[in-house]
């Protein structure tokens, strides 16, 4: 039966006019239903259903559930599988399918559902693999490893488990183990692009450029067939290869003598940061590998002096304090060490500046500026994971800047909820309600009471759309709300903060996102604010070196946190703004004689905390409440200089590769 026949049939059943039916959308729903049914038949033919049963109708219903997942209709899929399970509570394939759909909504429910499937079928490899992936997305490394291990005990050649475990190990900072998984994956499936790309990336991150670039070139040669969509690895690999060559040619040049943001071509940076296909006019490739520059060799922890060993162990401890205790963030030991070293280097550089010493930056010896302070953290964040372009947005080509460079975060997209930001949903909802009331107070004062009453019943962001459509004729498919950030330099003045966008035609099909626009004008406003605070901070920091007044130290602390408040609201980097900001906070506080003892509380994120807090003062209060600042122990001052101990990319990669697990004292 074709869609038109379906439509006539439905029209008769509903007893409604053609116009009304179009409005109800049943025409598209019926077409959709026929489409899903056809896709389900194909699904069965291709034997994609895990553990099919003898009953053909049941298999068709199972297939429809999986097709709904494939079409992003997770809520409908959960309902569909739940209905099937009412008839047969032990239908393993339906339990597993429901777990996959839950994975896009609530990882905890997905985990429980996969466990339920495994109770009924203990040799269900895909359920172990999916359980491992759910734990990995939650940020629970140990549980994920255990689940992947169980999948591979059932089948040591299970490619998806090897691939997922390898990727998790990479993002945990365990690069050597990750490479082992990718090698095994490629023995079994030589053209696996994900394993090939990740193997190349892992080698380069460890400073093994010859092996790394060989693997990257294999991905580049794997051109998609005509009409075939290119994989994300294929689209990214040219950037990685060019950046790898750049890193290799600069391995032994002191980091203080060059600047990545100035060296890399503007269009290359712009395309890389925006994740665009590599189509760059008149692009001149980086020089190929030069044989006289050798790969980075493994470094033994014992080969460092006892002072440097203490430096490394201290960095590991400080870096771990920056770890978000929030679902969705996997602890990464490599990032911990890199950002711990960044914190110590910031501390030492600020101390030098406040003691009237100069620093070496970009081949010049001069007084340290605010950007130099952040550049220390940027340098370490960049080297910890070469896959991510950590670039200053104001150093992008002028044309790209004038159009604005958006940092975009989807909080809800379609039916997928971003669990990393869940703790901020209520905050943002209250903020949107306030802005709606302000808007109606200005443009529709008579209807204000009605709007206020309607908003009181709204507990979820999704429920705002119908209300906005009801009270504002301009709201067709969505609306935006802007936050404002107050100036410290010019009291009474406000800057544009972030933009919240809510669009969609119904609950379950919406986009709820937050973005910051890095236009030239906005960048200049924030930078003048940061410069003004930094100038004040330098003066007060110098005074602090000569004083013992507690009030002076507190004023310095507030200035440091205010500086980072504006940095986070500006979002000046293509990646990594949050951890860069926090390592600068910790390092500058240590320079002022304060040690951060506390961890970032569960659910809290430094950048979002700054973005959703109305003023620098309230951000300072919140941050201080969790930092639990104590007086800095004297031995910190006698640690070796980070910049002198690790002056080049080679020495930085060496220290990040070094295993200290059995050497550093365990700290709680």
pLDDT single digits (tens) 486-509: 999 999 999 999 998 888 865 557
Q: Are residues 423 and 490 in the same domain?
A: yes
Distance CA 603, CA 420 (A): 8
Q: Are residues 542 and 606 in the same domain?
A: yes
Q: Is the pLDDT of residue 7 over 70?
A: no
Q: Is the pLDDT of residue 601 over 90?
A: yes
Q: Give the count of domains, the chain.
A: 3
Mean pLDDT over 152-166 rounds to: 97
pLDDT at 474: 67
Check residues 454 and 141 and name the one with the higher pLDDT: 141
Q: Are residues 231 and 328 in the same domain?
A: no
Distance CA 98, CA 74 (A): 9
Range of the structural domain that residue 529 is part of: 304-395+521-657
* Candidate ranges 148-162, 212-226, 443-457; pick with highest mean pLDDT: 148-162
Q: Read off the pLDDT band of 229 (50, 70, 90).
A: confident
Q: Which of 452, 482, 517 is the last residue of a domain?
A: 517
Check residues 34 and 515 and name the one with the higher pLDDT: 515
CA distances (Å), origin 149, targets 93, 125, 146, 372, 483? 22, 10, 5, 45, 46
Which helix (H) or strand (E) segment is 233 a member of? helix 232-249
Confirm if 108 and 97 have CB atoms less than 8 A apart: no
Q: Are residues 492 and 641 in the same domain?
A: no
Distance CA 622, CA 600 (A): 11
The pLDDT tens digits for 322-361 are 999 888 999 999 999 999 999 999 999 999 999 988 888 8
pLDDT at 505: 66
Question: How many residues appear in the chain?
Answer: 668
Q: Which of 245, 273, 295 is the last residue of a domain?
A: 295
* 330 is a domain residue: yes
Q: Is the pLDDT of residue 663 over 70?
A: yes
Mean pLDDT over 522-549 rounds to: 90
Q: Are residues 639 and 529 in the same domain?
A: yes
Q: Is the pLDDT of residue 388 over 70?
A: yes
Mean pLDDT over 261-268 rounds to: 93
The CA radius of gyration of the chain, in Å to the nearest whole number, is 28
Of the listed ranges 54-63, 206-215, 304-313, 394-403, the least confidently predicted one is 394-403
Q: Are residues 373 and 308 in the same domain?
A: yes
Q: Is the pLDDT of residue 12 over 60?
A: no
630: number of Cβ within 10 Å: 12
Q: Is the pLDDT of residue 15 over 50?
A: no
Of the listed ranges 6-15, 81-90, 193-202, 297-306, the least confidently predicted one is 6-15
Distance CA 563, CA 179 (A): 40
pLDDT at 70: 87
Mean pLDDT over 148-157 rounds to: 97
Q: Are residues 387 and 454 in the same domain?
A: no
Which helix (H) or strand (E) segment is 630 a member of? strand 630-631
pLDDT at 18: 34
Q: Are residues 375 and 335 in the same domain?
A: yes
Q: Read off the pLDDT band of 462 (50, 70, 90).
A: confident
pLDDT at 28: 53
* 75 is a domain residue: no
Q: Are residues 569 and 612 in the same domain?
A: yes
Average pLDDT over the chain, rounded to an integer: 88
Q: Read off the pLDDT band of 55 (50, 70, 90).
A: confident
Burial class (CB in 10 A: 0-12, 13-18, 19+), 425: middle
CA 103 to chain centre: 18
pLDDT at 10: 30
Q: Is the pLDDT of residue 49 over 90?
A: no
* 284 is a domain residue: yes
* 127 is a domain residue: no
The pLDDT tens digits for 283-330 are 999 999 999 999 999 999 999 999 999 999 999 999 999 999 888 999
Q: Are residues 344 and 329 in the same domain?
A: yes
DSSP classification of residue 254: B
pLDDT at 27: 43
* 504 is a domain residue: yes
* 82 is a domain residue: no
* 167 is a domain residue: no
pLDDT at 506: 59
pLDDT at 452: 87
Distance CA 105, CA 81 (A): 15
Q: Is the pLDDT of residue 401 over 70?
A: no
Mean pLDDT over 112-135 rounds to: 96
Q: Read off the pLDDT band of 362 (50, 70, 90).
A: confident
Q: Read off the pLDDT band of 372 (50, 70, 90).
A: very high
Pairing of strands 594-595, 630-631: antiparallel
**Token pair 């460079």 is at which residue?**
405
Confirm if 170 and 201 have CB atoms less than 8 A apart: yes
Q: Is the pLDDT of residue 478 over 60?
A: yes
Token reading at 365: 């010896």
Of the listed ranges 87-101, 111-125, 421-435, the least confidently predicted one is 421-435
Distance CA 514, CA 421 (A): 11
Q: Read off the pLDDT band of 586 (50, 70, 90).
A: very high
Q: Read off the pLDDT band of 6 (50, 70, 90).
A: very low
Residue 339: which CATH number? 1.10.3290.20
Q: Are residues 278 and 322 in the same domain?
A: no
Distance CA 275, CA 389 (A): 10
Q: Read off the pLDDT band of 668 (50, 70, 90).
A: very low
* 196 is a domain residue: yes
Q: Is the pLDDT of residue 170 over 80?
A: yes
Q: Read off the pLDDT band of 2 (50, 70, 90).
A: very low
Check residues 490 and 661 and name the one with the higher pLDDT: 490
Q: Which of 295, 321, 348 is the last residue of a domain?
A: 295
Q: Report percent pLDDT > 70 for the chain.
A: 91
Q: Are residues 327 and 462 in the same domain?
A: no
């Amino acid at each position: 039966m074709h869609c038109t026949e379906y439509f006539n049939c439905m029209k008769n059943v509903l007893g409604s006019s053609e116009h009304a039916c179009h409005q109800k959308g049943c025409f598209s729903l019926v077409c959709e239903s026929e489409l899903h049914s056809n896709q389900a038949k194909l699904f069965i033919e291709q034997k994609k259903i895990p553990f099919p049963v003898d009953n053909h109708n049941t298999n068709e219903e199972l297939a429809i559930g999986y097709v709904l997942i494939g079409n992003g209709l997770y809520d409908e899929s959960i309902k569909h599988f739940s209905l099937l399970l009412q008839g047969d509570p032990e239908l393993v394939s339906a339990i597993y399918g429901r777990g996959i759909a839950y994975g896009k909504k609530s990882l905890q429910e997905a985990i429980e559902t996969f466990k339920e499937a495994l109770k009924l079928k203990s040799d269900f490899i895909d359920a172990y693999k999916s359980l491992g992936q759910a734990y990995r997305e939650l940020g629970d490394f140990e549980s994920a490893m255990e689940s992947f291990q169980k999948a591979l005990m059932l089948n040591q050649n299970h490619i998806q488990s090897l691939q997922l475990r390898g990727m998790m190990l990479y993002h945990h900072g365990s690069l050597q183990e990750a490479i082992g998984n990718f090698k095994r994956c490629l023995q079994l499936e030589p053209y696996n692009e994900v394993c090939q790309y990740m193997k190349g990336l892992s080698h380069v991150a460890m400073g093994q450029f010859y092996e790394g670039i060989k693997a990257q070139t294999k991905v580049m040669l794997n051109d998609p067939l005509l009409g075939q969509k290119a994989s994300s690895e294929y689209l990214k690999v040219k950037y990685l290869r060019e950046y790898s060559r750049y890193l290799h040619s600069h391995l032994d040049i002191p980091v203080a003598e060059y600047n990545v943001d100035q060296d890399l071509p503007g269009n290359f940076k712009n395309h890389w940061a925006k994740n665009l296909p590599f189509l760059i006019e008149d692009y001149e490739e980086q020089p190929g590998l030069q044989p006289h520059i050798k790969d980075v060799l493994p470094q033994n922890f014992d080969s460092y002096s006892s002072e440097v060993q203490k430096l490394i162990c201290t960095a590991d401890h400080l870096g771990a304090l920056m770890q978000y205790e929030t679902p969705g963030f996997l602890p990464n030991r490599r990032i911990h060490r890199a950002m711990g070293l960044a914190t110590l280097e910031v501390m030492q550089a600020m101390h030098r500046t406040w003691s009237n010493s100069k620093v070496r930056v970009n081949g010049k010896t001069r007084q340290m500026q605010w950007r130099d302070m952040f550049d220390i953290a940027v340098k370490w964040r960049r080297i910890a994971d070469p896959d991510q372009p950590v670039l200053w947005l104001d150093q992008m080509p002028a044309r790209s800047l004038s159009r604005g460079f958006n940092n975009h975060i989807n909080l809800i997209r379609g039916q997928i909820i971003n669990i990393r930001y869940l703790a901020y949903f209520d905050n943002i909802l209250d903020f949107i309600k306030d802005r709606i009331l302000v808007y109606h107070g200005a443009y529709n004062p008579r209807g204000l009471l009605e709007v206020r009453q309607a908003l009181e019943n709204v507990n979820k962001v999704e429920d705002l759309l119908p209300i906005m459509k009801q009270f504002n004729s301009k709201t067709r498919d969505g609306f935006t709300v802007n936050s404002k950030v107050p100036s410290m330099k010019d009291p009474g003045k406000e800057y544009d903060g972030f933009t919240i966008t809510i669009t969609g035609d119904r609950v379950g099909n919406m986009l709820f996102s937050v973005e910051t626009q890095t236009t030239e004008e906005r960048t200049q406003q924030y930078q003048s604010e940061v410069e003004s605070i930094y100038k004040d901070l330098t003066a007060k920091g110098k005074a602090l070196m000569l004083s013992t007044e507690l009030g002076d130290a507190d004023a310095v602390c507030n200035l440091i946190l205010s500086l980072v408040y504006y940095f986070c609201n500006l979002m000046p980097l293509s990646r990594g703004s949050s951890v860069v900001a926090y390592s600068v906070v910790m390092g500058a506080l240590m320079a002022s004689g304060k040690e951060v003892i506390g961890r970032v509380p569960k659910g809290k994120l430094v950048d979002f905390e700054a973005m959703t807090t109305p003023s620098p003062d309230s951000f300072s209060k919140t941050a201080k409440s969790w930092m639990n600042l104590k007086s800095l122990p004297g031995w910190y001052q006698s640690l070796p200089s980070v910049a002198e101990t690790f002056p080049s990319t080679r020495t930085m990669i060496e220290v990040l590769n070094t295993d200290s697990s059995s050497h550093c004292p365990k700290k709680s």
